[in-house]
């Protein structure tokens, strides 16, 4: 369908598709996102699991906390998804691995209290209450 959103890892081994609309998009400043990606923060979009499909290749996973699990391309290491035990019906997908990341703009910051001091961006976006 023309509304589908596609993405993939750096090396091309893993490809995925998001059907329909995302359920929210945020910049996450938590330490776990920083360490697993090596980036100052990660922009995630949340989609219903039934609306997310790996269309090529396989991801490898790492339990980044008691509740969270992060998945990567086993070849190039691109970080593709994050899932959380408390939200089994949803998957977070890295916006930066979309073929056209500009299609899903961020809506808010989360874990803003952990934001690196020199990161300044999108100050007009709301900072969500921490969970
Ligand atoms: Zn790859
Ligand atoms: Zn995070």
Looking at the CA of 79, which ligand is closest?
Answer: 1
Per-residue pLDDT in tens (0 to 9) along the chain, 131 residues: 457 899 999 999 999 999 978 889 999 999 999 999 999 999 999 999 999 999 999 999 999 999 999 999 999 999 999 999 999 999 999 999 999 999 899 999 999 999 999 998 778 888 887 76
Could you tell me the distance, in angstroms and rounded to a whole number, from the CA of residue 80 to the centre of ligand 1? 10
Query: How far does the centroid of ligand 2 lie from the alpha carbon of residue 107, in Å?
Result: 15
What is the C-alpha R_g of the chain?
A: 14
pTM: 0.92
Fold of 5-114: 2.170.150
In the chain, where the domains are located: 5-114
Q: For residue 122, give both structure tokens.
A: 């999108």
* Residue 1 burial (CB count, 10 A): 6
CA-nearest of 45, 62, 51, 50 to 97 is 45
Q: What share of the chain is helix, strand, coil (3-state, %, to 5)?
A: 15, 35, 50
Say how many Å lie between the CA of residue 59 and the centre of ligand 1. 9
């Amino acid at each position: 369908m023309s509304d589908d959103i596609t993405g993939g890892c750096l090396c091309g081994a893993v490809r995925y598709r998001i059907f329909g609309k995302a359920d929210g998009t945020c910049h996450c400043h938590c330490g776990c996102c920083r360490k697993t990606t090596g980036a100052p923060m990660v922009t995630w979009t949340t989609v219903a699991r039934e609306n997310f499909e790996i269309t090529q290749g396989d991801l490898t996973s790492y339990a980044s906390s008691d509740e969270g699990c992060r998945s990567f391309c086993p070849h190039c290491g691109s970080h593709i998804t994050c899932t959380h035990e408390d939200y089994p019906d949803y998957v977070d997908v890295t916006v930066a691995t979309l073929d056209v990341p500009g299609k899903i703009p961020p809506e808010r910051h989360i874990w803003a209290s952990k934001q690196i001091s020199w990161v300044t961006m999108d100050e007009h976006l709301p900072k969500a209450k921490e969970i």
